[in-house]
């Protein structure tokens, strides 16, 4: 059983001010490496102390029981930011829902997998998962053990616009 879930998360917004606010909110106060660009604690503060960790409280706040093990900004466009985030056991789905609630006009798309037992794809708007699918990962055993996801799980600007329009007027 794998203990690291890799997530690719796309933050999409028609208003670039929303993306700037999200990028600023998820940025770690003290990055531990130049690539460390997304912090669960910065995104959804818990005040937890690493020396006295409360797994249940972390899971309730983030959807995963530990802070990120790594993160990187993969792409930056006028209407979207794409990050890769590694977390313990599961993707931080609760963080994505929380961020979508805090930033009207934000759509969050996440594809997560632990590489052996689960894969998931979620679309979040206004604090809730408006689309969610789970499955077993399709691991290609050709030396790099790449996980392949269904093509319909890929980020799509047209789907992002659709779920945003379906969520009602932006406040």
pLDDT of 57-94, one tens digit each? Answer: 999 999 998 889 889 999 999 999 999 999 988 899 99
pLDDT digits (tens, 9 = 90+) for 124-155: 999 999 999 998 777 666 655 677 888 899 99
Q: Which residue has the tokens 């052996």?
A: 116
Give the up-direction half-sphere exposure of residue 110: CA atoms within 13 A in the CB hemisphere. 30
Ramachandran area for residue 127 (φ above 0: left; ψ -120 to 50: alpha; else beta)? left
Q: What is the mean pLDDT of residues 10-26?
A: 97
- For residue 15, the tally of other CB atoms under 10 A from its CB is 14
Residues 15/105, Cβ–Cβ less than 8 Å: yes
Token pair for residue 82? Answer: 């794409």
Q: Which residue has the tokens 């600023």?
A: 24
- Considering only 37-46, 96-105, 113-122, 150-159, which range has the smallest mean pLDDT? 113-122
pLDDT category at 109 given cuts 50, 70, 90 is very high
Question: Distance between CA 27 and CA 135 in Å, rounded?
Answer: 30
Q: What is the pTM of this model?
A: 0.91
Q: What is the CA radius of gyration of the chain?
A: 15
In the chain, pLDDT over 70 holds for what percent of residues? 94
Q: What is the mean pLDDT of the chain?
A: 89
Close Cβ partners of 71 (under 8 Å, ≥ 6 residues apart):
35, 36, 37, 38, 39, 83, 84, 85, 86
Positive or negative, the CA dihedral 147, 151, 152, 156 is positive
Residues 6/84, Cβ–Cβ less than 8 Å: yes
Question: Distance between CA 73 and CA 23 in Å, rounded?
Answer: 10
């Amino acid at each position: 059983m794998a203990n690291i879930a890799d997530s690719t998360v796309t933050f999409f917004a028609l208003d670039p001010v929303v993306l700037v606010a999200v990028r600023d909110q998820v940025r770690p106060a003290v990055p531990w490496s130049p690539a460390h660009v997304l912090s669960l604690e910065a995104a959804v503060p818990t005040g937890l102390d690493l020396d006295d960790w409360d797994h249940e409280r972390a899971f309730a706040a983030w959807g995963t029981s530990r802070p990120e093990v790594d993160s990187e900004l993969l792409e930056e466009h006028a209407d979207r930011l794409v990050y890769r985030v590694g977390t313990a056991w599961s993707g931080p789905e609760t963080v994505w829902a929380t961020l979508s609630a805090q930033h009207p006009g934000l759509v969050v798309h996440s594809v997560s997998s632990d590489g052996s037992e689960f894969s998931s794809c979620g679309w979040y708007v206004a604090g809730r998962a408006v689309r969610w699918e789970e499955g077993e990962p399709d691991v290609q055993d050709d030396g790099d053990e790449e996980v392949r996801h269904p093509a319909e799980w890929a980020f799509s600007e047209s789907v992002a616009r659709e779920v945003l329009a379906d969520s009602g007027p932006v406040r």
